[in-house]
Each structure stands twice: as structure tokens, then as C-alpha cells.
């Protein structure tokens, strides 16, 4: 029966001019890192609820992340956050990942949890604190080298709560100075991914508040610096896919932190709230990928995809599996857009036809496609069910409560 459904789907797509083999191939090639911190306990400023079975150290976080990859096939990388994932021997952590058939991904410095950073890190008026912050950035370059990660992912909580609290232009210069030192310490094949966010924890101004500021910083530093788009970091109503298209064209789209949000930086399961937004982001990427094959320059083939989520209430490994399968689903749908059809409609200024050509791809059920893609890759057709049946979730309960948390 499921074979028949797939055959109908395949035929339907063929008639629309979509190559299903190519679609499956592209999904198989997806590589979405999961964040080590998404496996630990997290919460809001009101309460961190402890869950049973949460990893107690970075090694166990990697073991949990390996489960997500085992069942989805698309998440072989684990992003780390320092010092949350500080260990004595990073070589050992790298080996541990390898033994579990994953690898360490983006290295995220943490310049927001030490008391010294109360009034800022790389923008602190005190040069000694700026030095300390820069040393941490340099330490993270070394860690990346040791664990063989090419991506350094930077987000700064630096900002102020009140007008007059800080000198906005001085702080801007201080940040650039510190980042330049880090940039110069990076290997040629490393990338600095600069993340922006419009508020929180600072409520008046945030140093890198939007993509324009991050882009300007990347431009000033040089070609190894790019912008990272966290889908939860914009004011309501922002057209994120437009930002994506702009950065792709400028060849400065470094990566993503996927998650979904309703009101602020909610860090919820990717595509849980607004799947159409993720679909439209992928539409821009898929179109840029196609343009590249026609010689139009953009950096659509070199995007670091990551999740950045905190599962405050829901079980963490299943939440990650759901996020990865959601991303697979939305990417698959975007790959079903007949771009020629859209283009023809655009040339005729036929708005209704153009919008419909995009949206109808979203409306297809891609479940049969994903099932076959998984079968072909030797993966369980239902990753969530396979994980739940595996007994891993029960096994880790012996870790008890009170595991790692931020």
C-alpha cells in the first residue's frame, strides 16, 4: 500500500517536472547539527524543571545526540558551548564523538554567564574584562582546532538597559577590536559565524541587534566572517526569508539556528509554530542552489545548519528528533517548488500564479517521499517510533535527576 502511495506521488511530481530522485538525494545530504545544550535541563527565569535521565556531562550529551543521528540520519554534528561543555581533554571528547558515530560541530564561546560580564564582555568599559573575553575567544579557536571543527559561532549578550548606560560608539569599536584579534587567530579554513538578536538579556540596546550590524561586522573583518541567522531573533513580523536571500546574494550567509517562536526568543521545536516560514526560507536556499548551477554566485552550498533549542518541558531526545524530521519535511516541500513555473509567472507579473506555484509545493504530503528516502538510507521509516521502541529513553533514567543545565 505504502509502495503504491509513493508511486502515485512520484508520478504526480514527474508530471509537474520535479525530479524526485534529486529531491531525495538533497535531503540525504542535509546536515543539521544539534546543540549539546539542548539535551541538558533548561527553563525560564521563573523555573528550571529538572528531568530524569538528563546527561550529566558533555560525554553523555554526545551519546544522546548520537541517538538523534542514529534515527534521523541527518544530524552527525554536535555543537558545543564553552564552558558549558568544558572538559580537561578535548581530544578525548572528539574521540568519544567518533566512537558514537558523530563529530563535534560549531564551537560556541560563552561570554554571558560569568559575573565579570555583568556590564559587558567584549564591550566592557574595563580593558581587563575585554582582555579576558578576548582570551576566551582565542581559547575557543584552539578548542575548534583540537576538535577539528571549522565553525566558531558567536553570540554576545552585550548591551545596556538604559539610555546613557554605555557609550554606544565606543562599545562598537571595542567589539570590533576584540573580534579582529580572534579573526586573525583563526585558520584559513575556519569560519566565524556572527549571530545577532534584537533584545534579551539587554532591554534597551543590544550590540549586534540585527542582521545589518552582524553583516557590517563580517564585512569589516573579512571573508572568513559570515552572518548566522537564528530564526528566533527577530521582532514580530520580520521577513526572515528576505534577509536570507540578501545574505545569500552577498555570500555572507554563514548558518542558521533553527527553532520556532511565538513571542520572543522561545527556542521551541523547529517549525512547530510557523512551518510556512521555514518552507519559505528553504525556498530561497533551493532557488539560490539552482542559480549556482547556472553560474550565479551565492553561498547556498556552504550553510551551517544547526538547531538552537531548549526543551524546558518536553523530553529532549524526542524533541530533537521531531525538530530534525520537521526540517526534513519543510526542506522536501521547498524542493518540490517548480522554479521555472515561478519564474515564468514572475516574468509575466502574474502574481496569483507565482504565489500559487510556491504555495502548492507546501501543500503536498511528503510523508511517502521521506519514508522511501529513509528506507533507501537504511534508516527506520518512522524515526520517532523507532527511538521510542529502542529502550534508550528508559535506560538513561538511571542517570537520575540533576543533570547538566545552563
Residues lying near ligand PSV in the complex (CB under 6 A):
37, 108, 155, 195, 197, 230, 257, 265, 308
Contact 120, 171 (CB under 8 A): yes
**Minimum distance from residue 235 beta carbon to ligand PSV (Å):** 14
- Which lies closer to Mn ion via its Cβ, residue 69 or residue 257? 257
404: cell is 547538566
In the numeric block, which cell numbers belong to residue 269? Answer: 521545536
Which residue in 5, 76, 73, 85 sits closest to 38, CA to CA?
85
User: In 186-274, which residue ranges form alpha helices assigned H by DSSP?
Assistant: 211-221, 240-249
| Residue 311: contacted member of ligand PSV, Mn ion, none (CB under 5 to 8 Å, by partner type) | none
With CB under 5 to 8 Å by kind, the binding choice for 84 among ligand PSV, Mn ion, none is none
Site string for Mn ion, 259-278 (x = CB under 5 A): ------x-------------
User: Nearest approach, Cβ of 201 to ligand PSV (angstroms)?
Assistant: 9
Stretches 8-16, 64-72, 257-265, 377-385: which one binds Mn ion (CB under 5 A)?
257-265
CB neighbours of 70 closer than 8 A, spacing ≥ 6?
A: 101
CB 198 within 8 A of CB 209: yes
Grid coordinates standing for 381?
521509516
For ligand PSV, which is the closer residue by CB, 252 or 257?
Answer: 257
**C-beta nearest to ligand PSV: residue:** 155
Asked if residue 158 binds Mn ion (CB under 5 A), the reply is: no
Backbone angles phi, psi at 126, to 5 degrees: -85, 115
Nearer residue to Mn ion within complex by CB, 13 or 206: 206
Distances (CA, A) of 381 to 22, 30, 68, 204, 384: 19, 17, 14, 48, 9
Which cell numbers in the block locate residue 36?
A: 549539546
Closer residue to Mn ion, CB minimum distance, 60 or 308: 308
Is residue 375 within 8 A of residue 381, CB to CB? The reply is yes
What is the closest distance, in whole angstroms, from the C-beta atom of residue 208 to ligand PSV in the complex? 11
Q: Which residues contact 27 (CB under 8 A, 6 or more apart)?
A: 74, 328, 331, 332, 335, 370, 373
Strand-strand pairing, 159-160 and 151-154: unpaired
Nearer of residues 85 and 265 to Mn ion, judged by Cβ: 265
**207/265 with CB nearer ligand PSV:** 265
Residue nearer to Mn ion on the CB measure, 79 or 143: 79
Q: What are the φ and ψ backbone dihedral angles of 48, each rounded to 5 degrees?
A: -105, 115
Write the DSSP symbol of residue 255. Answer: E
Minimum Å gap between C-beta 256 and Mn ion is 9
Q: Could you say which of ligand PSV, Mn ion, none residue 41 binds, taking C-beta under 5 to 8 angstroms by partner kind?
A: none
- Which of 81, 191, 252, 257 forms a contact with Mn ion (CB under 5 A)? 257
Pairing, β 225-230 against β 205-206: unpaired
Q: Which does residue 37 touch among Mn ion, ligand PSV, none (CB within 5 to 8 A, set by kind)? A: ligand PSV
Single residue of 60, 64, 277, 308 touching Mn ion by CB under 5 A: 308
Least distance between ligand PSV and beta carbon 108 (Å): 5
CB of 231 to ligand PSV, least distance (A): 10
Q: CB 144 → ligand PSV: shortest distance, Å?
A: 15
Our CB check for Mn ion shows the closer of 20 and 227 to be 227
Q: Is 33 in the site for Mn ion (CB under 5 A)?
A: no
Is there binding between residue 230 and Mn ion (CB under 5 A)?
yes
Minimum Å gap between C-beta 343 and ligand PSV is 35
Q: Give CA–CA dist 180/186, Å, rounded.
A: 10
Q: How far apart are CA 157 and CA 145, in angstroms?
A: 25
Provide, rounded to whole angstroms, the least separation between the CB of residue 256 and ligand PSV: 11
Angle (nearest 5°) at CA 289 between 283 and 294: 125
What residues line the site for Mn ion (CB under 5 A)? 230, 257, 265, 308
Amino acid at each position: 500500500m505504502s509502495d503504491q502511495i509513493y508511486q502515485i506521488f512520484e508520478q504526480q511530481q514527474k508530471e509537474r517536472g520535479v525530479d524526485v530522485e534529486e529531491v531525495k538525494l538533497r535531503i540525504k545530504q542535509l546536515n543539521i547539527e544539534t546543540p549539546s545544550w539542548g539535551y541538558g535541563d533548561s527553563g525560564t527565569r521563573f523555573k528550571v524543571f529538572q528531568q530524569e535521565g538528563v546527561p550529566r556531562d558533555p560525554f553523555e550529551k554526545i551519546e544522546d545526540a548520537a541517538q538523534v543521528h542514529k534515527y534521523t540520519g541527518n544530524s552527525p554534528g554536535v555543537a558545543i558551548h564553552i564552558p558549558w561543555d568544558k572538559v580537561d581533554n578535548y581530544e578525548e571528547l572528539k574521540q568519544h564523538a567518533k566512537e558514537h558515530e558523530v563529530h563535534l560541530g560549531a564551537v560556541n564561546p560563552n561570554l554571558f554567564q560569568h559575573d565579570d560580564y555583568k556590564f559587558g564582555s567584549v564591550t566592557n568599559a574595563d580593558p581587563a574584562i575585554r582582555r579576558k573575553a578576548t582570551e576566551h575567544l582565542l581559547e575557543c579557536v584552539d578548542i575548534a582546532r583540537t576538535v577539528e571543527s571549522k565553525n566558531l559561532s558567536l553570540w554576545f549578550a552585550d548591551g545596556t538597559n538604559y539610555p546613557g548606560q554605555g557609550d554606544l560608539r565606543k562599545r562598537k569599536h571595542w567589539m570590533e577590536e576584540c573580534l579582529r584579534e580572534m579573526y586573525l587567530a583563526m585558520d584559513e579554513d575556519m569560519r566565524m559565524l556572527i549571530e545577532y538578536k534584537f533584545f534579551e538579556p539587554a532591554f534597551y540596546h543590544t550590540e549586534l541587534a540585527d542582521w545589518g550590524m552582524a553583516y557590517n561586522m563580517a564585512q569589516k573583518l573579512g571573508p572568513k566572517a559570515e552572518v548566522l541567522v537564528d530564526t528566533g531573533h527577530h521582532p514580530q513580523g520580520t521577513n526572515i526569508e528576505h534577509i536570507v536571500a540578501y545574505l545569500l546574494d552577498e555570500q555572507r550567509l554563514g548558518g542558521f539556528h533553527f527553532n520556532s517562536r511565538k513571542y520572543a526568543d522561545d527556542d521551541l521545536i523547529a517549525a512547530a509554530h510557523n512551518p510556512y516560514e521555514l518552507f519559505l526560507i528553504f525556498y530561497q536556499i533551493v532557488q539560490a542552489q539552482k542559480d549556482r548551477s547556472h553560474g550565479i554566485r551565492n553561498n547556498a552550498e556552504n550553510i551551517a545548519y544547526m538547531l538552537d533549542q531548549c526543551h524546558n518541558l518536553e523530553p529532549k531526545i524526542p524533541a530533537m528528533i521531531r525538530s530534525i524530521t520537521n526540517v526534513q519535511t519543510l526542506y522536501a516541500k521547498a524542493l518540490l517548488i517548480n522554479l521555472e513555473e515561478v519564474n515564468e509567472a514572475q516574468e509575466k507579473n502574474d502574481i496569483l500564479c507565482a504565489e500559487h506555484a510556491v504555495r502548492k509545493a507546501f501543500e503536498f504530503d511528503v510523508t511517502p517521499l521521506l519514508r522511501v528516502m529513509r528506507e533507501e538510507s537504511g534508516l527506520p521509516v518512522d524515526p520517532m517510533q523507532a527511538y521510542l521502541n529502542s529502550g534508550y529513553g528508559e535506560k538513561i533514567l538511571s542517570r537520575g535527576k540533576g543533570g547538566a543545565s545552563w
